[in-house]
Amino acid sequence: MRIAMIGQRGIPATFGGVEHHVEELGSRLAERGHHVTVYSRTNYTPERHGSYRGMRPRYLPTVDSKHLDAIVHSTVSTVDAMLAKADIVHYHAVGPGLPAVLPRYLSRAKVVLTVHGLDADRAKWSATARQVLRTAQWLSARVPDATIVVSRDLADHFRDHYRRSTCYIPNGVGDPTHRPPDAIRRRFGLRGDDYVLFVGRFVPEKAPDLLLRAFSTINSEAKLVLAGGSSFTDEFVRSLRSFAAADPRIILPGYVYGDLLEELFSNAAVFALPSLLEGLPLTLLEAISYGIPVVASDIPPHREVLGPKRPLVPPGDERALATAIEEALEHRAQERRDAEAIGPRILQAYRWDAATDATEALYERLLAGSGA
């Protein structure tokens, strides 16, 4: 099959859950003999590859602004994919999926769209942008030949709001690579088991500001590492850095990936994810795979992963978040044993090979004319 992936920033993936999703899925499809083109924005990575993990990156320009970056690149990529006569045009995220009407009605390609989250609810958008994204969500339930969702909560949302049956294909997680605290000791003074870790984009819905405020009230020698950066949220990031400057325990290394990220996951005492909104966060799956005790907000995607019995923190509750982190640090040995016990279940339930099996089977059904 000739498969075009559109909507992600690009590959090789550095920051961004959607980008890692596409890289893991696309590389496995390529291993199976499919021709996978991954449309990549020239402003995402300075690297250029003729081939990467069996996929063909197609680097096309865009407009480097919050409101135009995704939609311009998606539109240009859509036209290119149609000219290349792709069999499958697969969009990732509802905003970049707006041009899906073109291949759906003007080509023979089958159109698939994966919903990674309810983008219209993200706080960084203006009222006008939110309305555009609500329209995109409505279209994502009606235009594609098949709509994929990465969590059961999203499946419920599309059934209840749009009367749309979706294909539930969750994200996956790979086997963890454990690394001793080498680079993190030299760069940040971290010994291992002496810090709370947050990994993600610095955007309001992930609540890193709430985590900073909660951590500042904790009387502990542990440090807080917030690994992430701006996603067209520069003013928000400046406020975080200004707050963090007053507490020497807080480390803001920027976006990290590769060996350094593996070190941070390998040696964290606690992983904190106080998000107000998520699709199905890859960082949560990764943290659990490493056996890190998790403090997370009580939202449906987190509950879906962690199970009904796991104590979670009410979203937005600063005091409850601080208390949960304090308790996890105080009882870290027991918390670590509990966390390591659920790691194998997560590795079994959320596998990239299983996600690839389901996606490939969906493509084949669509091309055979048997529907989603």
pLDDT the model gives residue 64:
80
Q: What's the token pair of residue 277? A: 């909104």
pLDDT the model gives residue 123:
65
- What is the tens place of the pLDDT at every residue in 250-266? 999 999 989 999 999 99
- What is the tens place of the pLDDT at every residue in 31-71? 999 999 999 999 887 788 999 999 999 999 998 877 788 89
Q: Could you please report the per-residue DSSP string of 305-361?
A: HH-TTS--BPTT-HHHHHHHHHHHHHTHHHHHHHHHHHHHHHHHHS-HHHHHHHHHH
pLDDT the model gives residue 124:
65
Distances in Å between the Cα of 293 and the Cα atoms of 76, 89, 136, 314 are 43, 39, 37, 17
Question: Contact at 8 Å (CB) between 30 and 36?
Answer: yes
Q: For residues 93 and 117, give the distance between their C-alpha atoms in angstroms, rounded to a whole number.
A: 7
Which residues, listed in sequence order, are joined to residue 197 by a DSSP beta bridge? 225, 271
Query: Whose structure tokens read 């759906």?
Result: 104
Long-range contacts of 178-184 (CB under 8 A, 24+ apart): 178/262, 178/266, 178/290, 179/259, 179/262, 179/263, 179/266, 179/267, 180/263, 180/266, 180/267, 181/263, 181/266, 181/267, 182/263, 183/259, 183/260, 183/263, 184/260, 184/263, 184/264, 184/267
Point out the residues of the chain with pLDDT beneath 50.
none
User: First vs last Cα of the chain: how many Å apart?
Assistant: 17
Nearest alpha-carbon partner for 144 in 107, 104, 178:
104
What is the pTM (predicted TM-score) of this model?
0.91
Distances in Å between the Cα of 248 and the Cα atoms of 140, 162, 188, 212, 217 are 45, 48, 11, 12, 13
Question: Contact at 8 Å (CB) between 229 and 237?
Answer: yes
Query: Whose structure tokens read 């919050």?
Result: 66
Domains of the chain: 2-172+351-368 (3.40.50.2000), 183-349 (3.40.50.2000)
Please report which residue ranges of 227-331 form alpha helices under DSSP H: 234-244, 259-267, 282-289, 300-306, 318-330
